[in-house]
Amino acid sequence: MFKLVDIDDLYKYKIEYGYKNGFFSKEIRNSMHKIGKNTTKEHYYEIRKLYNLSSNWNVIGNVFPNKYPNLIYIGLINNCNASCNHCPWFSNIHAKDNVTNYFTHTTKIDDLKVYEIIDFAIKSKSKLVFSGPGEPLLDERIFDFIKYAKDGGVKYISVPTNGILLDLATLKKLINLGVNEVSMGIYFSNGNYKDEKALDNMKFQICKNLQFLKDNNFDIKCKLFVLYEIEFYKEALDFMLEISKFRDDFCVDLYNPNDKYWEQNGFNAIPNKRHSCGFISSSLYVLPDGSVTKCEFQRGMLASRDVKLLSFGNIYSQTIENIWNSSLHRDICTRHKIGDNKEGMLDVCKICKSSWWNEVY
């Protein structure tokens, strides 16, 4: 719990009033807050909702750890229908460096175990993400799982995909099931798609989906990613101009296919030893073999590290709730909070590429 120390000024309140009354969008509201007095988080629980009102709060009572996860990722399958150059698991560039056998054969979570995870999400009132490592739409069970979750009361479900299988019929099906968020993307690179025709089909499919979403006011968030390598910037720019007819909010990323973006040693560069990352204490990731990892970013290491080094339990030997409430998980969370890497418990965090270690609002 938090106790207000004092109010900076009425600037923050005016912004919140305007946003709550529909005068401007969430994105504009967030940008306006950044223009004002920035506050650097020292701990994960110092959330935006606090700093959008004031930068001066005192912590009272025990805010740690979370009784239930806020977010649960279910990695249904470890197979994919693409070989994106930047991918740590399936790219032709990086797959040759794999030192584990995690992706040598297709693995899926058992049906019963998925339903147990969903039951825990219902109890926890957690958000659900049906994800990889791999392409979730390759697993046809996903539609039954989504229906079960929605019927049980899960309020927010996300399905991030590479977009290849997200044709209009599938998009409509996900909308009818009540999915709250989907993602699709296109990658302009050498060899990412089978041939030029496949790339053209992908562009056509994305435009068709965007047109459908524009023509219908569905309550669904659609994230669109345009990825490209430097020599394909013209093709990427042409496509961005084309889709701007449908929307202007899409993510654009330039990739160097030789970079291992999922492994960057930034842990030791943390200024003032701030520890604002809250993934370990507020979310969990269940992998296709049943292992439960500390956060979503650690799945990028599955090809280079034994999954046992990344996980703190397995749903085939414990219930998901017991894993979350285990003494091992609590110990990891406590050590992470104070930056204590005794016995190497935070070794995998040392190479995290995430910027969430130091969030500035």
pLDDT tens digits, one per residue of 162-175 = 999 999 999 999 99
Q: CA torsion 89→90→94→95, rounded to 10°? A: 90
Cα(359)–Cα(182) distance, integer angstroms: 25
pLDDT at residue 6 in the model: 73
Contact 91, 85 (CB under 8 A): yes
Helix and strand numbers, DSSP H then E, in the chain:
13, 11
Cα(96)–Cα(303) distance, integer angstroms: 10
Residue 128 above 90 pLDDT?
Answer: yes
Contact 134, 75 (CB under 8 A): yes
Cα(13)–Cα(212) distance, integer angstroms: 37
Q: What are phi and psi of 203, to 5 degrees?
A: -60, -45
Residue 344 above 80 pLDDT?
Answer: no
Residue that the structure tokens 């003494």 belong to = 327
Residue 266 above 50 pLDDT?
Answer: no
Residue 320 above 70 pLDDT?
Answer: yes
Cα(39)–Cα(190) distance, integer angstroms: 42
3-state helix, strand, coil in the chain (%, to 5): 40, 15, 45
Residue 37 above 70 pLDDT?
Answer: no
| Tokens standing for residue 124 | 């926890």
Grade residue 338 by pLDDT with cuts at 50, 70 and 90.
Answer: confident
Mean pLDDT, the chain, whole residue set: 83
- Highest mean pLDDT, choosing among 115-124, 188-197, 212-221: 115-124
| Tokens standing for residue 175 | 């909308």
Grade residue 262 by pLDDT with cuts at 50, 70 and 90.
Answer: low
Q: What sign has the CA pseudo-torsion 99, 105, 108, 113? A: negative
pLDDT at residue 352 in the model: 67
- Sheet holding 157-160: strands in order across? 251-254, 221-228, 181-188, 157-160, 127-131, 71-75, 283-286, 291-293, 311-314
Cα(250)–Cα(224) distance, integer angstroms: 5
pLDDT at residue 61 in the model: 61
Cα(166)–Cα(173) distance, integer angstroms: 10
Contact 277, 355 (CB under 8 A): no
Find the DSSP H helices in 189-301. 196-215, 233-243, 279-282
pLDDT at residue 359 in the model: 39
Residue of 291 and 270 predicted with greater confidence? 291
Residue 118 above 80 pLDDT?
Answer: yes
Q: What are phi and psi of 336, to 5 degrees?
A: -65, -40
| Tokens standing for residue 74 | 């279910």
Q: Which of 142-151, 189-198, 270-279, 299-308 has the lowest mean pLDDT?
A: 270-279
The pLDDT of 220-249, averaged and rounded, is 90
Contact 287, 302 (CB under 8 A): yes
What is the per-residue pLDDT across 45-90, written as a single tens digit (0 to 9) for each? 666 677 777 777 776 665 556 789 999 999 999 999 988 888 888 8
Cα(34)–Cα(192) distance, integer angstroms: 37
| Tokens standing for residue 68 | 């239930």
pLDDT at residue 278 in the model: 74
Find the DSSP H helices in the chain. 11-20, 26-35, 48-51, 111-124, 142-152, 168-177, 196-215, 233-243, 279-282, 307-310, 320-324, 327-338, 347-350
Cα(260)–Cα(94) distance, integer angstroms: 8
| Tokens standing for residue 345 | 């418990």
